[in-house]
């Protein structure tokens, strides 16, 4: 799934939320923020128990509310930069790997997270994580291959 597919899915979910509840995403975010709930699970519970939202919509709203409370989404490059703080010697290895992965095709999506970068097409097929100051772990999902044992 490309970044535009994800954005389209989120926009559809947001539109469906408003259609089903009569409130826009921004209105739901304000409801959650006004509740004083700060933890993700508290927000979900509040939305489900006090407002009757299903788990999927409650989770969706809670993510958006926490993002807004934190000042907006973290830029992907900032996530990657943060992964290599104290591990700067590994960053050229990551950059080389990404250069190689970019040749896999336009359908490959990089999805930076706090601890690593997922490589996805329709689903995740690999993960790159700088796990120590001297090691980058690369996980590859090889369909039909058994996991090696120690």
Contact 118, 127 (CB under 8 A): yes
Quickly list H helices, the chain.
Answer: 3-21, 25-35, 40-51, 55-69, 76-83, 91-101
Bigger pLDDT: 108 vs 150: 108
Sheet holding 109-112, edge to edge: 109-112, 117-120, 124-132, 135-140
pTM here? 0.52
Nearest-angstrom CA–CA distance, 94 and 90 = 7
Q: State the pLDDT confidence band at 89, using cuts at 50, 70 and 90.
A: very high
Q: What is the pLDDT of residues 67-78, one digit of tens each?
A: 888 877 666 777
First to last CA, the chain: 34
Nearest-angstrom CA–CA distance, 107 and 89 = 29
Contact 136, 94 (CB under 8 A): yes
User: What integer pLDDT is reported at residue 11 of this predicted model?
Assistant: 74
């Amino acid at each position: 799934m490309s970044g535009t597919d994800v954005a389209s899915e989120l926009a559809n979910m947001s539109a469906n939320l408003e259609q089903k509840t009569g409130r826009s995403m921004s209105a739901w975010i304000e409801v959650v923020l006004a509740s004083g709930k700060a933890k993700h699970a508290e927000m979900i519970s509040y939305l489900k128990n006090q407002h009757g939202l299903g788990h999927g919509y409650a989770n969706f709203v809670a993510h958006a509310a926490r993002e807004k409370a934190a000042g907006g989404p973290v830029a992907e490059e900032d996530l990657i930069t943060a992964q290599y703080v104290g591990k700067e010697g590994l960053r050229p290895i990551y950059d080389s790997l990404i250069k190689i992965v970019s040749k896999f095709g336009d359908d490959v999506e990089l999805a930076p997270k706090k601890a690593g970068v997922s490589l996805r097409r329709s689903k995740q097929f690999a993960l790159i994580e700088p796990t120590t100051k001297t090691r980058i772990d690369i996980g590859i999902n090889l369909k039909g291959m058994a996991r090696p044992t120690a």
